[in-house]
Chain A
Amino acid sequence: MSAIESQESPGMSAPTEQARTGSATPGGDGDDRRSAGGVLATAFRAIPGPLLGLVAVMVVLSFMSPYFLTQQNLTNILSQNSDIGIMAVGAALVILIGGIDLSVGSTLALSLMTSAWLYREHSVPFAWALVAALVVGLLVGLVNGVLSTYGKIQPFVATLATMSAAAGLALYITNGNPITGFPDWYLAITSNDFLGLPIQAWIMIAVFVVAAFWLNFRPSGRALYAVGGNAEVARLSGLNVTRMKIGVYMIAGALAAVAGMIVGSRLDSAQPTAGTADLLNVIAVVVIGGASLSGGSGSMLNTFIGLLIIGVLNNGMSLLNVSPNLQPVVIGAAIIVAVLTDRGARARISQH
Chain B
Amino acid sequence: MSADTTATGLQCRQLVKSYSGVTVLKSVDFDVPAASVVGLIGENGAGKSTLSSLITGVNRPDSGSMTLDGQPYAPGSPSDALDAGVVLIHQEIRLLPGLTVAENIFLGQLPTRAGRLDRARMNAEARELLESLGVDLDPRRKVQGLSMAKQQEIEIAKALSKKPRYVIFDEPSASLGEAETAQVLERIRALRERGTGVVYISHRLDEVLEVSDEIVCLRDGSRVAAWQAGEVRREALVNAMVGREFTYEHVAPSPSRDDVVLEVRGLGRTGVFADIDLTVAAGEVLGIAGLVGAGRTEVVRAIAGADRADAGEVLVEGRRLKGNGPAEAIAHGVVMVPEDRKGQGLHLDRSSAENLALPWEKRLARHGVITRRRLRHLSMQQRERLDIRGDMSKPVRSLSGGNQQKVLIGKWLLKDPKVLIIDEPTRGVDVGAKMAIYEVIRSLAEQGMAVIVVSSELEEVLGLAHRVMVMAGGRQQGVLTREEATPERVIELAVPAGQAGSR
Contact = CB atoms under 8 A, between A and B. Distances in A.
Interface of A: 3, 9-10, 217-220, 222-223, 225-226, 229-230, 232-240, 296
Interface in B357-403: 358-359, 361-362, 364-365, 368-372, 395
A225 B349 CA distance: 10
Interface residues of B, number: 31
6 contacts: A219-B368, A219-B370, A220-B362, A223-B361, A230-B347, A234-B358
B346 interface: yes
Given A219-B361, A229-B350, A234-B358, A239 B345 contact: no
B345 A222 contact: no
A10 to B, nearest CB: 7
Given A217-B369, A238-B327, A233 B346 contact: yes
Nearest to B304: A236
B349 A217 contact: no
Nearest to A234: B358
B343 interface: yes
Given A219-B365, A234-B358, A238-B359, A229 B347 contact: yes
Interface string B319-361: 0000001110111000010100001111101100010001101
Contact of A233 (B331, B347, B362): B347
Contact of A238 (B330, B345, B346, B368): B330
B315 interface: no
Contacts of B325: 235, 238, 240
Given A10-B349, A233-B344, 11 more contacts: A3-B372, A219-B364, A219-B365, A230-B343, A230-B347, A234-B358, A236-B344, A237-B411, A238-B329, A239-B327, A240-B327
Given A236-B326, A236-B338, A237-B358, A217 B350 contact: no
Contacts of A223: 358, 361
A19 B368 CA distance: 40
Contacts of A233: 343-347, 358
A238 B345 CA distance: 12
Interface string B300-331: 00001010000000000000000001110111
A9 B304 CA distance: 32
**Residue with the highest number of chain A CB atoms closer than 10 Å, among B347, B370, B371:** B347
Contacts of B411: 237
Contacts of A220: 362
The 5 closest A-B pairs by CB, nearest first: A219-B361, A238-B327, A237-B359, A238-B330, A229-B347
A236 B347 contact: no
A3 B372 CA distance: 9
A226 B361 CA distance: 12
Nearest to A297: B349
A201 B448 CA distance: 58
Contact of A217 (B326, B338, B344, B370): B370
B342 to A, nearest CB: 9
**Residue with the highest number of chain B CB atoms closer than 10 Å, among A225, A232, A237, A238:** A237
Contacts of B306: 235-236
B338 A219 contact: no
Nearest to B397: A350
A225 B343 CA distance: 15
A52 B434 CA distance: 46
A2 to B, nearest CB: 11
Contact of B358 (A226, A232, A240): A226
Contacts of B331: 238
Contacts of A234: 358
A238 B349 contact: no
Interface in B51-74: none
A232 B365 CA distance: 23
B349 A296 contact: yes
Contacts of A232: 343-344
Contacts of A229: 347, 349-350
A12 to B, nearest CB: 13
Nearest to B364: A219
A191 B439 CA distance: 69
Contacts of B358: 223, 226, 233-234, 237, 239
A345 to B, nearest CB: 14
Contact of A218 (B349, B359, B368): B368
Contacts of B347: 225-226, 229-230, 233, 296
Contacts of A230: 343, 347
Nearest to B347: A229
Nearest to B412: A237
Nearest to A6: B372
A219 B365 CA distance: 7
**Residue with the highest number of chain A CB atoms closer than 10 Å, among B343, B354, B361, B362:** B361
B11 to A, nearest CB: 40
A85 B349 CA distance: 28
A226 B349 CA distance: 10
Nearest to A237: B359
B327 A9 contact: no
Contacts of B365: 218-219
A237 B326 contact: yes
Contacts of B346: 233
B213 to A, nearest CB: 45
Contacts of A239: 327, 358-359
B157 to A, nearest CB: 34
Contacts of A296: 347, 349
A225 B348 CA distance: 12
A129 B347 CA distance: 44
A296 B395 CA distance: 13
B350 A225 contact: yes
A215 to B, nearest CB: 11
